[in-house]
Amino acid sequence: MATGEPKKNKGGRPKGSTKKADPFRIPGKPGRPEAMVPDEKTLKALNQYGQAGITIERMAAYQGVSLTAFNNFRKKWPEADEAIEQGRAKMDLAISLAQIDVAIKKKNPQMLIWLGKQRLGQSDKVEQRTGEIAVHIDADDAQV
């Protein structure tokens, strides 16, 4: 260590520094800190975005990072995608329960038909009838 330089702690910061070490940064590794970290706050936000049906592009914008940085974050931290999917699943369940409530408790015939088609494989039966059509052509009226 050259003379005149302050002593450094284990994180490479000058002794007495009040800045906390980044838990997601590898000590001694050069470069910028991660743009996003999978902390509780971030995962909760991703879960809420999933519930709201927000696109991945918008999620990146709301987190203040580029789409590339957001996708890299998702690749590196699978729990991010898990949080998004859990949020989407919660909303899907809420929608299904609401539809069943409207169909069954309120006896809504359109919803009952729709649910029957979606869940029970029911379908509309289309009948086609072919009838005979009588065509009368009078030779006197025909033009050549």
- Residues 91, 85: contact at Cβ < 8 Å? no
Residues 6 or more apart from 140 whose CB is under 8 A from it?
A: none
From 6, 33, 25, select the one nearest 17 (Cα to Cα).
Answer: 6
From 12, 16, 18, 14, select the one nearest 4 (Cα to Cα).
Answer: 14
- Residues 83, 39: contact at Cβ < 8 Å? no
pLDDT one-digit tens code per residue, 82-101: 999 999 999 999 998 998 89
pLDDT one-digit tens code per residue, 112-140: 888 889 888 888 877 677 777 766 666 56
